[in-house]
Amino acid sequence: MVRLVSSQELAQHNTQEDCWVIIHGKVYDLTKFLPEHPGGIKVITRWAGQDATPSFESIHPPDIVDHYLGPEVFIGEIDKSTLSVTKVESEEEKQRRAAHAKKPALDEMLNIFDFEGVAKQVLKPDAWAYYSSGADDEITLRENHNAFHRLWLRPRVMVNVTNIDMSTTFLGTKTSIPVYISATALGRLGHPEGEVVLTRASHSEGIIQMIPTLASCSFNEMINNRGRGQAQWFQLYVNKDRKVTEKLVRNAEEKGVKALFITVDAPQLGGSLFDRLFIIRGKAIRSQTSFG
């Protein structure tokens, strides 16, 4: 029989030395896991004795606790009758809700800079920090930005454009245009449905989606949301535990993923300037997988 944990009992386990949290209605003892968390201890301890679900689900796939941690961390289920249902909307949330209401129509967005400007207004501060910042002094981010400004498209004039076919093939897979959706982690920071939104969009537009290792959705969620005949690739971070990596690769192959892309330049996570500011405030956003 599953044990019921009252909110009063949960609140007593609110320190680094004794850390219980709620995740999707279940109570977990994460005390021993704290030193192993790649995102640091404070990311978890700020929710010690509380419901960590809102913060957790914006970053992690729902099955990650059961997948990576043993059953011994599970204490029981929270007794919902003991929970307070009062929620006060913060001033920050009010401003963000107002910004959402004022968003321009999609057909009024003319370029990427328009999307960036709106995103800055409607995303939570930690989400904006994660998506917009670069590593350390951000020189690479700046130079990449400048490099793209030096690229020009040379028009082909005096050509019959009555019928245009922009389709091509990537690694033997047909795509409607020479563009694919590259792997980007933590999709739920930008949309409550996370990466499955991109799965559906890539199918409707006939392009390829690269599934990220560090997605907010589970691998199976993205696989199960693909359409008939849809091609997907898989981006892989090599885990320190090679058995975990082998399991990921075999699963991707069994599920019909067409190509494997291995990230080879991230033996250590880079330090984001804005991310470090959130670490100071106890709001760090970090991935859930150890690399090596």
Between 268 and 234, the higher pLDDT residue? 234
The pLDDT of residue 221 is 92
Between 199 and 278, the higher pLDDT residue? 199
The pLDDT of residue 291 is 40
Indicate whether 250 pLDDT > 80.
yes
Residue-wise pLDDT tens digits, 140-178: 999 999 999 999 989 889 999 899 999 999 999 999 999
Q: Are 59 and 188 in contact, with CB atoms under 8 Å apart?
A: yes
**Strands 26-29, 18-23: pairing kind:** antiparallel
- H or E stretch covering 252: helix 242-254
Exposure of 7 in the CB half-sphere (CA atoms within 13 A): 9
DSSP 8-state code for residue 224:
H
- H or E stretch covering 273: helix 273-280
Q: What is the dihedral of CA 137, 123, 28, 247, to 10 degrees?
A: -70
Residue-wise pLDDT tens digits, 92-143: 788 888 998 999 999 999 998 999 999 999 998 888 888 888 888 889 999 9
Domains and CATH numbers, the chain: 4-82 (3.10.120.10), 124-280 (3.20.20.70)
Q: Which whole number is the average pLDDT over 52-79?
A: 84
Q: Are 171 and 258 in contact, with CB atoms under 8 Å apart?
A: yes
Helices (runs of H) and strands (runs of E) counted in the chain = 12, 10
The pLDDT of residue 240 is 80
Residue type, 81: S
Report the alpha-carbon distance of residue 98 to residue 92 in Å, rounded: 10
The pLDDT of residue 138 is 87
Least confident segment among 7-16, 92-101, 125-134, 268-277: 268-277
Chain centroid to Cα 65, Å, comes to 16
